Structure 1
Amino acid sequence: MSAPEDQSAYWNSTGTTKTFGHPLHPEWTDRIDRGARLLDYGCGYGRLVGELTALGFVDVEGVDVAPELIARARAEQPHSRFAVLPDPPRLPRLDGRYDAAFLFAVLTCVPGDEAQRALVAELHRVLRPGGLLQVSDYCLQPDERNRERYRRFEERYGRLGVFETGDGAVCRHHTRAWLEELFAGFELRDERDLPVLTMNGRPAVATQLLLARR
């Protein structure tokens, strides 16, 4: 069985109740001019948009595939800009429109190889040459709970790291080799691993990448 391409039903229902907690890295955001044009792709309910605005960034846009999450974002951040993607991953924006972009805990929600490639290619298109991309996501986790569900769902989805959550989502944790391949069109500037809580409140290790568009 292939991983589902469309999980909009989940993100327009159960997904609207989740809390997302991957943190910004101050040293990385400080490298961006406060007047830069920023994109939060897969913004959910607008948490990062609000945090970036509070840090003094004046041109921040959040986009997401789920209308119900965007409705929550607009209610919680009424003075910020949000848009629903009508034809994901396509962004109705000009090439090189943004100076920097954020992709936080989004790849984990896009389990298929081709869907991930298309998403990253679209971000590459809308970032200017040299524009920064900050990624925060999950590599394969070493704990036994995760290792057991990787094994349990590997035959169903044909890939180690793709699994189902108890409340109906299909997610993916990645090998570092895959992330290197996926972001081959970017230059790695920095990286770090850090403890986070997942959207279901479980402890995990996130991998964050600071990339520059080639």
Structure 2
Amino acid sequence: MKSESDQYAKYWEEKGSLKNFSTPVQMDELKKHVSAGAKLLDVGCGYGRVMTELLDAGFTDVKGVEPSAALRRRVADEGRPLDVLPMNLGIIPFEDSSIDAALLVAVLTCIPEDKDQNSVMSEIYRVLKPGGIIYINDFLLNTDDRNVERYDHFQKKHGTYGVFELEGGGILRHFSDERTKELLSIFTAVEFKKVVYTTMNGNRANGFYYIGKK
């Protein structure tokens, strides 16, 4: 039987690689803490949408890592001249304390299991320089009938409230306040704000953006 990790990885090689992502980076807030010449790393960069926005905003040293081969191919197929490396076995291919700022934009939602989320956060901590900045956009639990129904339904299968499946095999997660605090606890908070985002499937969902420091 395939694990959840295998199932969600397969989704991002197939139907997930065709999705267009939508959560916005709070660029003005990021610029308050990260200089234009800083070494930026977009973790789980997908097809390069956020990397392109960062370059357009004046950041000059932007790299990305992405585990999905299909999404990396999409970067090339769409003619984006971006520096994107594979992220194999959850390892970020950069040296310790080599990055000024890292971004996770709607990435943790795509990683339903606690252990895999923890691994990504630890890897980011490892590659960030002392005092380095982490920026995160992600999704929180919702209380509308549609979401509550699917949280309840899939909790029986996956064991975690907030995990749900998409048509085509994708497994996503919306986070409780408690789990969000756990994920962010290895960093020192600079800014945290709850917002409402539009998801990649066009729905409105509770979310947050966070800026923290190593």
TM-score range normalised by the length of the shorter chain: over 0.9
Q: Deviations over 1:109-159 (max 9, x none)?
A: 110111111110000000111111111111111211001100111111111
Give the secondary-structure state (helix, strand or coil) at the position aligned to 1:191.
strand
Q: Which runs of 5 or more structure 2 residues have no equivalent in the other structure?
A: none
Aligned partner of 1:40 among 35, 39, 42 = 42
| Partners of 2:71 and 2:196 in 1: CA distance | 25
Q: Which runs of 5 or more structure 1 residues have no equivalent in the other structure?
A: none
| Partners of 2:152 and 2:159 in 1: CA distance | 10
Instruction: Note the 1:58-207 alignment, pairs <5 A.
Output: 58-87=60-89, 89-207=90-208
Aligned to 1:56: 58
Q: Calculate the TM-score normalised by the size of structure 2.
A: 0.94
CA contact (8 A) 2:25 2:105 kept: no
Q: Calculate the TM-score normalised by the size of structure 1.
A: 0.94
Aligned to 1:5: 5
| Partners of 2:29 and 2:103 in 1: CA distance | 11
RMSD: 1.6
After TM superposition, the structure 1 stretch with the greater mean CA deviation from structure 2, 38-47 or 164-173, is 164-173
CA contact (8 A) 2:140 2:205 kept: no
CA contact (8 A) 1:99 1:127 kept: yes
| Partners of 2:2 and 2:212 in 1: CA distance | 29
CA contact (8 A) 2:30 2:135 kept: no
| Partners of 2:3 and 2:112 in 1: CA distance | 6
Q: In 2 relative to 1, CA 77–29 (structure 1 residues): closer, same or farther, beyond 3 Å?
A: farther
Question: How far 1:78 sits from its partner (Å)?
Answer: 3.1
CA contact (8 A) 1:22 1:105 kept: yes
